[in-house]
Homo-oligomer: A and B are copies of this chain.
Amino acid sequence: MASNEYPKAPLSRVKRLNNRAAYDYKTIHHIINSTPVLHVAFNPAPSPDADPFPAILPMLGCTGSFTSPTADPATGSQDLYLHGYVSSRLMKQPSTANDADSQGTPVTVAATLLDGLVLALTPNHHSCNYRSAVVFGHAELVADEAEKLYAMQLITDNMLPARWANSRIPPNKAEMQSTSILRVRIAHASAKVRGGGPNEDRGDLKDEELRKRVWTGVVPSWIQWGDPMPARANMAGEVPEYVEQWRNVQNKDGRIGAYEAAKEAE
């Protein structure tokens, strides 16, 4: 099993309810690549005493391998690519820290998908069904033009398959310069997945009066993609098939996944 997994480290080892934990590449990369918006945390100040707060940026990104583009995302081949802008604080970090010894800016990236609200007899046993991954790694600006282009297409098509080929490509020189891509070399990572119905207090379960009074169960939830609204400048007519297909698959998978997550173990 070890070869399918990230190494466990103090920060990545799941402490609480560790039966919900996963360290395998497949689970972690799938959660990251299914989450539309990632949260990226880093320490912006060179001296941590100057400002004690980490920064958090919502960013787009997904996993990939520039050196082995056809590698299975369910393997340890993957880096994490993030899309951003040269003017942002995070993007400025790597170049200043980027001396010969540096591995890049330490970043932590969280991806969380909510699958439902779990309603128990008592508020303290309420919970959420979710899939959550956290990745720890070192981020560097991608300087190589070919790798940058690879990552731009990867992130675009991870969000909406085939969109890259169906838009105006390649980016022009100004666009290549104004867009920055960060490559995160993943040091360690973990996932946590919660599914099923409520875990009740044993005393509550014996109280039939209580059980007749308080409704318990799961309200499943997922990201719903609505009917696309054309831009005022749109001259391409109806919504293309590849967009509608992506939307329908996302909505169906989201709904089915949320109901599957809500099922209680037999």
Cβ of A171 to closest chain B Cβ, rounded Å:
5
Q: Does A3 contact B (CB under 8 A)?
A: no
Q: How many copies does the complex hold?
A: 2
A234 touches B215 (CB 8 A): yes
Q: Does A68 contact B (CB under 8 A)?
A: no
- 0/1 string, A206-230, CB within 8 A of B gives 1: 0110111111111111111111111
Closest-by-CB residue of B relative to A178 is B124
Q: Does A74 contact B (CB under 8 A)?
A: no
Closest-by-CB residue of B relative to A230 is B217
With A16-B87, A43-B54, A117-B159: A225-B215 Cβ-Cβ less than 8 Å: no
Using a CB–CB cutoff of 8 Å, the interface residues on chain A facing chain B are 10-11, 15-16, 36-37, 39, 41-44, 48, 51-56, 58, 60, 85, 87-89, 106-110, 112, 114, 116-117, 119-124, 126, 128, 130, 132, 134, 136, 152-153, 156, 159-160, 163-164, 166-169, 171, 175, 178-179, 187, 197-198, 200-201, 204-205, 207-208, 210-240, 243, 247, 254-255, 258-259, 262-264
